[in-house]
Amino acid sequence: MSTTSIHPGIILKKRLKKIGLQQKEVASLMLIPAPNLNEILLGKRSISKLMALRLEKAIGLNAVSLLTLQLKYDLAKARNNKRNQQILKKIKKASQ
């Protein structure tokens, strides 16, 4: 079974475009290097708890929502990993 999810950085990138903010401007507001934000927007870097809080403070996005998106993305990626699938097939459910 294949599970897909979108990296939260992709959603964040669309949001920044919609509200008319540039990456450099947002990175400056967040007190982070612009390349770090760029990696998130490209889906190459995860959104950490601190990064979610910074985004919430800088542009008003809900930190819990961002972390929920990140968690869903990470779980989908783990489920689609072939090695993980092989391991999970071997695990038996406890009988009740």
CATH number at residue 53: 1.10.260.40
Structural domain harbouring 27: 8-90
Q: Does residue 38 register a pLDDT over 70?
A: yes
pLDDT class for 5, splitting at 50, 70, 90? confident
The pTM assigned to this predicted structure is 0.85
Is 1 contained in some domain? no
What count of other Cβ atoms lies within 10 Å of the Cβ of residue 91? 7
Is 49 contained in some domain? yes
Is 2 contained in some domain? no
Is 95 contained in some domain? no
Q: What is the 3-state composition of the chain as percent helix, strand, coil, each rounded to the nearest 5?
A: 70, 0, 30
Is 67 contained in some domain? yes
pLDDT tens-digit profile of 56-72? 999 999 999 999 999 99
Q: In terms of residues, how long is the chain?
A: 96
Count of structural domains within the chain = 1
Q: Which residue has the higher pLDDT, 51 or 3?
A: 51
Is 96 contained in some domain? no
The pLDDT assigned to 3 comes to 62
3-12, 29-38, 60-69, 75-84, range with the lowest pLDDT: 3-12
1-10, 36-45, 71-80, range with the lowest pLDDT: 1-10
Is 65 contained in some domain? yes
Residues 6+ apart with CB under 8 A from 79: 1, 3, 85
Is 84 contained in some domain? yes
